Amino acid sequence: MFGGLVIPSNSPHLRKSGSRHTVSDLGTNELENGIEEGFLHSIEANDLKSPATPMSTTAIIPSPILLWRFKVLLFFLWGFSCCKIGWDSVMRMSTDKQDLFLYEAFLYYNPLLLVAMMVWLWGINLWFFTQAGVNYAKIFDLDQNHLTHREIWRCAIWMTIIVPTSMTAYLYLYSHGEVSFAASQPVLLYAAAVMILIFPFDIFYLSTRYYLLRTLWRIAFPLQAISFSDFFIADILTSMVKVFSDLERSVCRMFHRQVATIAWLEADSVCGSHSVAIPLVLVLPYLFRLFQCLRQYKDTGEKTTLLNALKYSTAVPVIFLSALKYHVFPDKWTSFYRPLWLLSSVVNSLYSFYWDVTRDWDLSGFTRIFKFSKPHFLSHLLYGRKWVYFWVIGSNLILRCTWTYKLSAHLRHNYLTVFTIAASEIFRRFQWIFFRIENELNKMNSKSNIQLSEGDMPNEEEKLLGDVNRTV
């Protein structure tokens, strides 16, 4: 009709991508069909003649690889700037003040740097568990809102940026005579960290912060049954006693307004090495873990929990015998207390090493560390390799012995050496987590297998009923 070519209504020339097919009934009037088809054909022709549509926004967005490279470049530029500004600021100071001021600045910021390191390594732990298909949320009894390894790393990145930036500002302001502004830098940083941790509103991962605070409360007051996450985090806290000790000294100096000054040399008994608060802070994580073991013995009656409690009690003599050096005569320390300190250090190191290998890890049969669900270089490198277990046993023994260095207050003269040992202890705990989770996963799987086997076995009543039915 109308002299035009009649095109079937379901022709692809009449449809755009995503539009529905035009279906005509056989009984409809040909005039109406021709008008409808001509109308659609004219629309299609107009679309073809119209100018090209603007470029889609997806073509403007750069690729993720390019964004990642740009962020890495900014990160290195930021790191270089902080190092350059910090070095120039230290060089502006007089020679007699450089070492003292660097020691004080390091005291304020190294606890948060160690915490950032622990967060980075914990993200690696979670990434490893994810790749291996380990249901760590079930092991730790986490809800659906728990943080993934990517979110953990995002927190670590911000910590890695903010803490050195504040330290650089502290050095720069002090070297340029702005003492009051310099003193405010660590104070503001500590206050911001506390506020973010206790912020009651649903931002900054509220459920995770609440989970952490609730677990810390349960650790400090073990008035309930001890869960796996309770003693797992408590064990991690024992590896971070250096953090708590330096936090106590830093807050003490802030409270006494000794920041950005050398007045702390005159008040060493209040916030320095002679302070009685240092051994108390060092021993607290071990006492928490000790009370947890006693609580577990009360609930379960297992004697192994008492042996575990004994392990944590061996750290108490190491800490307090070391602190006595500042409160007794030098001859008394050399002739009597120092041999006791050495003996207690050896006992604590060897007992802790033995417990790691035989109890926490159960490496008696060389269990195999997790295998990734998809082919990966790390899985091929680690899974089923005996060198992994020889390495972790040997390094654990060495780092257990060096960790005694940090528990001893009278050995903390070179702050860089102490920081290195504290960082090495955190790395040892990072290794410990893999094998501790593997052992816990094996226990859970064995329990589930036992329950399944018991469920498959018929009870005595079912056997009797079966015998009766057969006789009938």
What is the predicted pLDDT for the residue at 28? 44
**pLDDT band at 392; cut points 50, 70, 90:** very high
Residue 26 has pLDDT above 50, yes or no: no
What is the predicted pLDDT for the residue at 393? 92
What is the predicted pLDDT for the residue at 179? 86
- Residue among 31, 29, 25, 24 at smallest CA distance from 4: 31
**How does pLDDT run across 113-131, given as a tens digit for each residue?**
999 999 999 999 999 999 9
What is the rounded CA–CA span in Å between residue 116 and residue 414? 22
Q: What is the mean pLDDT of residues 87-101?
A: 82
Sketch the domain layout of the chain as residue ranges: 74-364+392-438
Low-confidence winner among 27-41, 131-145, 271-285, 389-403 (lowest mean pLDDT): 27-41
List all residues 6 or more positions away from 400 whose beta carbon is below 8 Å from its beta carbon: 349, 352, 353, 356, 428
Q: What is the mean pLDDT of residues 70-86?
A: 92
What is the rounded CA–CA span in Å between residue 239 and residue 232? 11
Tell whether the torsion through CA atoms of 147, 151, 152 and 158 is positive or negative. Answer: negative
What is the predicted pLDDT for the residue at 142? 87
Name the burial class of residue 36, with classes exposed (0-12), middle (13-18) and buried (19+) by CB atoms within 10 angstroms of its CB: middle
**How does pLDDT run across 329-388, given as a tens digit for each residue?**
888 888 998 899 889 999 999 999 999 999 999 876 677 888 898 888 888 888 888 899
Question: Does the pTM of the predicted model rise above 0.75?
Answer: yes
**How does pLDDT run across 238-268, given as a tens digit for each residue?**
999 989 988 998 898 888 888 877 665 555 6
Q: What percent of the chain has pLDDT over 70?
A: 78
What is the predicted pLDDT for the residue at 21? 45
What is the predicted pLDDT for the residue at 45? 47
Q: Are 22 and 14 in contact (CB under 8 A)?
A: yes
Residue 307 has pLDDT above 60, yes or no: yes
Low-confidence winner among 33-37, 96-100, 308-312 (lowest mean pLDDT): 33-37
Q: Return mean pLDDT, the chain.
A: 81
Structure tokens at 409: 């207050």
Residue 201 has pLDDT above 90, yes or no: no
What is the predicted pLDDT for the residue at 428? 95
Q: What percent of the chain has pLDDT over 90?
A: 44
3-state secondary structure the chain: CCCCCCCCCCCHHHCCCCCCCCCCCCCCCHHHHHHHHHHHHHHHHHHHHCCCCCCCHHHHCCCHHHHHHHHHHHHHHHHHHHHHHHHHHHHHCCHHHHHHHHHHHHHHHHHHHHHHHHHHHHHHHHHHHHHCCCCHHHHCCCCCCCCCHHHHHHHHHHHHHHHHHHHHHHHHHHHCCCHHHHHHHHHHHHHHHHHHHHCCCCCCCHHHHHHHHHHHHHHHCCCCCCCHHHHHHHHHHHCCHHHHHHHHHHHHHHHCCCCCCCHHHCCHHHHCCCCCHHHHHHHHHHHHHHHHHHHHHHHHCCCHHHHHHHHHHCHHHHHHHHHHHHCCCHHHHHHHHHHHHHHHHHHHHHHHHHHHHHHHCCHHHCCCCCCCCCCCHHHHHHCCCHHHHHHHHHHHHHHHHHHHHHHCHHHCCCHHHHHHHHHHHHHHHHHHHHHHHHHHHHHHHHHHHHHHHHHHCCCHHHHHHHHHHHHC
